[in-house]
Amino acid sequence: MSMNTASNIHAFDKRLLARMIGALGDDKVIDRLALELAQIFDELLPGVLRSETGCDVTIAYAGFRAGLRNELVAGLGDGVLIGDLSLRNWCTDFQIGCDSPVLIALVEALLGAEPAGIEEPAPRSLSKIEIDVALPVFHGIAEVLRIAVNAPGGFEPVVGRPYNSAERAKPDPALEDVYAASIDMTIGLGPVLSTFSVIVPQSTLLKTRFVSPKGAGKDQNAKTEWTEQLEEQVRRSAVALEARIRLESLTLDTIARLQAGDVIPFHDGQDVRVEVSANGRDLYVCEFGRSGSKYTVRVKDTHGSEQDILRHIMS
């Protein structure tokens, strides 16, 4: 008599298998590798883009994202220019995405506009001519990446013509997606600040040993400049604030019976104390108030100095 064992067969956990074969890493490891690559971009990319476009740009690290590659590419959003690339002896298929506003500003600058006077363009799909102008930016990013990974053979990266994110073909459902990481960098031209991303399979990234052209022995001044750039990025970034107000204590019985329209008094009798925080860190002590038709909070005290608050948000 045969025994049916089909019910005892279970699909192998995809994430566990990926970890076992080196195709999925811990966030701490990905973060370290992303920082190493970001520092090399910071060192080299402004000069490379200056020689490619004649324009001065600023570069700063904006973090990393990890997940399935198709989801990371889709997460770039609308109004993004995407390029498919390969680099022999390193990675046969990776992507670069760049927000359109800085590329539109670059076109305006090349047409004679003063970068400092360019207004922030709205994200949108780019025209054929604008893509032609943007192509050197993708080549510049790819060139710095080539230097950073130092792949055997010294081959040049193959950069496919970039295309608008709205035109990207849908993934083939028959092809299994791979775990990847997106190393995100801000790129600024005049007052216009955008983001570009390098999306690499984790199986490739985890085996990469980045080589800084200036070596590991950077002086302390260079490290200070890197920290200052990170702080400047934080200063220019939008941060969501949250306010917490203590209410009067109520019994569980009363809480369970509250209905729409019931009123819960504030805990404080006069000036209502409000704790304002960002990213889970307390920043300010405020008092509750009102200005016209809007409710407001007035800052009364801070949780540390300006630098302390910046470090809280960055950490």
Residues 48 and 64 in one domain: yes
Does 69 fall in a domain? yes
Place of tokens 């108030």: 289
Q: What is the pLDDT along the chain (315 residues), one digit of tens a residue?
A: 455 555 556 566 777 766 766 667 788 999 999 999 999 999 999 998 888 778 899 999 999 999 999 999 999 999 999 999 999 999 999 999 999 999 999 888 877 788 888 988 999 999 888 888 888 899 999 999 999 999 999 899 999 999 999 999 888 888 888 999 999 999 999 999 999 999 999 999 999 999 877 643 344 444 444 344 444 544 555 667 888 898 999 898 898 889 998 999 898 877 889 999 886 778 899 998 888 888 899 898 988 877 667 656 544
Task: Give the H/E segment covering residue 87.
Answer: strand 80-87
pTM of the entire predicted model = 0.63
From the list 184, 209, 235, 214, the residue with the least C-alpha distance to 64 is: 184
CATH number at residue 124: 3.40.1550.10
Last residue of a domain, one of 207, 235, 263: 235
Residues 219 and 273 reside in one and the same domain: no
Q: Are residues 200 and 252 in the same domain?
A: no
Task: Decide if 3 is inside a domain.
Answer: no
Assign residue 270 the CATH number of its domain: 2.30.330.10
Q: What are 283's two structure tokens?
A: 């920043």
Domain extent, residue 196, equals: 14-235
Pairing of strands 179-189, 80-87: unpaired
State the Cα–Cα distance between residues 312 and 283, nearest whole angstrom: 8
> Which among 200, 235, 270 is the end of a domain?
235
